[in-house]
């Protein structure tokens, strides 16, 4: 059995179907890979980049992005790298004013044993365990 990792552009085409030719090719290669007994993986950097594309380029709202990632997590066919990190980051993203990237970063620090994450970003500081540093600019 082999494991094939998806690049962001393949996952985005699969999710958005904004390019019919590439969307069909992405769907087909995923289905054929799974049908052959191999597995399909999605890495955390791909998830992070996909969130950026969905938000910035496709203009999807936060709720739709969360729903999309939860759908990926619920899929028995995909291997999501550090699935528990993603689940926790989505929880933080849904329940705080912070950007998804900051939620994923804070989750990684917490899971690796850090006492807190330090930031100058006020939105990121809405995450429990994130400390806002006082910034005085001249």
β 39-42/78-80 pair status: parallel
* Closest to 45 measured CA to CA, from 89, 94, 97, 98: 89
**Taking the CA atoms of the chain, what radius of gyration do you get in angstroms?**
17
For residue 77, say whether it is annotated as part of any ligand binding site. no
Rounded distance between C-alpha atoms, residue 43 and residue 72, angstroms: 12
User: Was 102 annotated as part of a binding site?
Assistant: yes
55 neighbors 93 (Cβ within 8 angstroms): no
- List residues forming the annotated binding site for Mg(2+): 7, 102
- List residues forming the annotated binding site: 7, 102
């Amino acid at each position: 059995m082999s494991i094939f990792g998806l690049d962001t552009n393949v996952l985005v085409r699969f999710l958005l179907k904004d390019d019919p030719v590439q969307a069909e090719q992405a769907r087909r290669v995923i289905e054929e890979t799974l049908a052959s007994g191999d597995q399909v993986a999605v890495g955390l950097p791909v998830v992070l980049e996909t969130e950026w594309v969905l938000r910035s380029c496709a203009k999807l709202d936060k709720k739709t992005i969360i729903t999309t990632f939860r759908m990926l997590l619920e899929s028995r066919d995909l291997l999501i790298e550090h699935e528990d990190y993603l689940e926790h980051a989505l929880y933080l993203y849904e329940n705080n004013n912070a950007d998804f990237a900051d939620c994923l970063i804070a989750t990684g620090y917490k899971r690796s044993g850090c006492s807190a994450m330090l930031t100058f970003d006020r939105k990121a500081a809405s995450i429990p365990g994130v400390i806002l540093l006082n910034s005085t600019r001249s």
